[in-house]
Amino acid sequence: MSIDAGYDNENIFAQIIAGAVPSVKVWETGDILVFMDAFPQSNGHCLVIHKTARATNILDIDDGALSALAVAVKKTAAAVNKGLRPDGIRVVQFNGAPAGQSVFHLHFHVIPIYDGVSLGRHGDGGPAPADALEAHAARIRGAL
């Protein structure tokens, strides 16, 4: 999908927001949802999305909603740091399929980095077990 594509109301994140597809939630507000990536690149990999802004990528979102997302990414990264104690944290955001975007709802990845542990490939491999995702989410929630 190109960077200029319109928003698809049936994308997987829209379905998660609507409750039609389950997710392991970390925290949420009226506008923000943070949940575990079902296909994590590392233990504790979270996704941060805006629930009401229907933006495909960073070029589509209004500044107020983007500001709310940025604050949510910082809050999530701080909780990941405190709860999981990684050696580093990578924050990633893709725009358009050629750039690596695979879900066309603006989202940020918060990926804990652990020395000596290789990252999985973005969107590759099978889903993580729900109990493992919940265990990481619980540790992150406890650090909020």
List residues with catalytic annotation: 107
Alpha-carbon dihedral angle through residues 26, 63, 41, 118, given to the nearest 10 degrees? -120
> How far is 117 from 104, CA to CA, in rounded Å?
29
143-25-30 Cα angle (round to 5)? 95
> How far is 45 from 6, CA to CA, in rounded Å?
27
The torsion angles phi and psi of 63, rounded to 5 degrees, stand at: -60, -35
> How far is 139 from 77, CA to CA, in rounded Å?
13
